[in-house]
Structure 1
């Protein structure tokens, strides 16, 4: 029946022990139907499927939408930019993670190959505004960002017809409610304020397998799931993700949201991307550390970064230490593993 268990899908475990999310037939079917309609899938579509199938988008979203729409699927065993470019002339949709689009932008012939494509979807990790803008310049298409998680499949989506805004994950899908609540009290917050995102709808999971205490902790009696993601909803109704609750930095009594600092640093010349973390500090409790990937061949120092951002960030938000790396640690879905970074730099202020 609709409420029977269809699958147990394990969370990525980027913030702690991996948990088995119990997904019902109703949750999977309702989400697939909603996305098929929202993303205008039909029997004429051909999807390029290069996502891993141990993750909710590759396993359920991509395959279930294809089946419901009666469309076709080019099922790749792994991501290969050149192979995807070769398939594009015979396809209409690509679902991917930000890394897909960064790599595809490095290939030759992307503009010509993408002529017949109608939709490019991205999720699982934040898509940089620079990537969004470059993709539109090269292909003429605006990438559609969405927001989902293991426990819920997809929750929000930028509009198919409408303004797909870089750095935002769009509006709640039909039938899905998204609210922002106070992390301490659980009370709803006014529009525009940052808090914890909570989600309710037929897509929400039934609980964690053999973990009743964890289920009670994250799934409210009123049906809202506490996602653990920090976000806000702007005046136009677009949802913004600013980070994970466990990534929140409290320094000297001030709440600091890493995403705000990362956006400022990522916008600097010579910077590919950054990750901001909080580490124990004897005076402030936690202090801000920025881990940065610089462009190949670009000479840039910690002092250069500090000088460039000092006028754009309050003093308490400015990194007290800046590190440079060749690449940020990521899991299989492209999410930056900040827990790995915290372990790697633990003790730098001692």
Structure 2
């Protein structure tokens, strides 16, 4: 049996476990520094707590809390005990949480104390046995329960195919899909990235990403933990805090929005980043202008890579060699990519088509959706990413579009269908379309184009306010426009390309 991801992580801890694994400089309460020994001991005790609550190997642990060292230890506890980690975006509204809890049926939900009442109602509705609370400063019933545990649960004997995590990603059906990621998926991708990006225990990673997302949880944390490196653990991206910590860091991972915000002031310059060896960008396309301005300002070429919730990272610009603006580099070791036509024929260099991937990083399918899972794979085992791409003569992969109307706003995926269903359910609305347009800060933002029923009235502010009650803020369109009809082609399909052209400047100011 292959070693579990936890076994690999623990084996990568420094020989001297008193070395610091992470420090949280913006922590209000509690110890700001966590050694590797403390992190490992917490994972063992937390896993024992879960077992004591009656959770068995394979049971889900749902987490919807602010970023903290304890939250990372909970993730490691799940890996250690063979429990399946289910992170939830902290911006999710109760309706979104209700669907995920009902679908995943976790044995335990850990939430922020401020959401305890609504979470308990949701848990009771779906037969969840346990609800505990945890805030960003290590307060809550979870901490109280863990303090009473002195036992250490031995690592579970998990193999490469055993489930490690479920991350939900919305889809064209409007209902989120749970991507099932195995210990082998995460381990292979973590090792590939660690080696490709040259992480060692001498690194100090400035971590400003959320950890409910694959980028912050898997890409960033695994690179550090699998190399015995140290992390500066910021609760969120705060420009002043990042500028304060950068001079002593060696690596930083961000979404394009992070980089545009860093470049927004003259106080960001090469004097701040003289000690840095690596900046990476992902979760959304990095504009060539941002790449070039960053290089001119700092002397660093941002390393852009490409991945998905379902696959982890697939490609990366080279650590050594030319990092080409507008490309996502080459396939990572252990991952194959190809571009095919609509008919499934393999395309050559310079030809544009659907991007497909295969490798040990590719997920096991969607939770309790076998038919949907099967649809996403070709007969010869390649995963259809839904992205449109081209591979040039030098082997660099270029992403040229998205086949599924995906909007990437501030690094987060927004699927129009999920929003359209909520808009269409409003009694005043006949139909709607959500499209993504350029946004200076977020890269893209949603715009709602709405047709009202005869003799009904609804204004932009009221529509957006209703959506804010149902959706995480990053999913809520920035603008709404009302029209008499939506443009359609001869087959009756809404021509979203025309809507994007019409409202392309709606969010520029």
TM norm structure 1: 0.74
> Quick one: distance in 2 between partners of 1:276 and 1:75?
31
Superposed displacement of residue 109, structure 1: 2.8
Distance 1:287 1:6, change over 3 A: closer
Q: Could you tell me whether the CA contact under 8 Å between 1:21 and 1:150 is conserved in 2?
A: yes
Superposed displacement of residue 80, structure 1: 0.5
Which of 251, 259, 262 is the aligned partner of 1:101? 259
Superposed displacement of residue 189, structure 1: 1.7
Please, what is the CA RMSD of the aligned residues?
2.8
Superposed displacement of residue 52, structure 1: 1.1
Aligned to 1:3: 161
Distance 1:245 1:61, change over 3 A: same
Runs of 5+ in structure 2 lacking a partner? 1-158, 407-436, 450-485
Aligned to 1:289: 498
Runs of 5+ in structure 1 lacking a partner? 249-264, 292-318, 329-350
Which of 487, 497, 504 is the aligned partner of 1:280? 487
Residue aligned with 2:498, SS: strand
Q: Could you tell me whether the CA contact under 8 Å between 2:257 and 2:443 is conserved in 1?
A: no
Which of 369, 374, 391 is the aligned partner of 1:233? 391
Distance 1:273 1:26, change over 3 A: closer
Superposed displacement of residue 190, structure 1: 2.3
Distance 1:274 1:78, change over 3 A: closer
**1:124-143 equivalences in 2 (<5 Å):** 124-143=283-302
Matched positions, count: 280
Superposed displacement of residue 133, structure 1: 0.4
Query: Radius of gyration: which is bigger?
Result: 2
Q: Could you tell me whether the CA contact under 8 Å between 2:280 and 2:303 is conserved in 1?
A: yes
Q: Could you tell me whether the CA contact under 8 Å between 2:487 and 2:498 is conserved in 1?
A: no
Residue aligned with 1:6, SS: strand
Superposed displacement of residue 241, structure 1: 0.6
Superposed displacement of residue 12, structure 1: 4.9
Deviations 1:63-89 (A, max 9, x none): 111111100001111100110011011
Aligned to 2:319: 160
Residue aligned with 1:110, SS: coil
> Quick one: distance in 1 between partners of 2:173 and 2:487?
17
Which of 188, 210, 215 is the aligned partner of 1:57? 215
Aligned to 1:314: none
Which of 104, 111, 123 is the aligned partner of 2:282? 123
Residue 200 in structure 1 maps to residue 409 in structure 2 = no
Distance 1:52 1:72, change over 3 A: same
Superposed displacement of residue 124, structure 1: 0.7
Which of 215, 222, 232 is the aligned partner of 2:373? 215
> Quick one: distance in 2 between partners of 1:275 and 1:53?
22
> Quick one: distance in 2 between partners of 1:89 and 1:15?
45
> Quick one: distance in 2 between partners of 1:323 and 1:69?
44
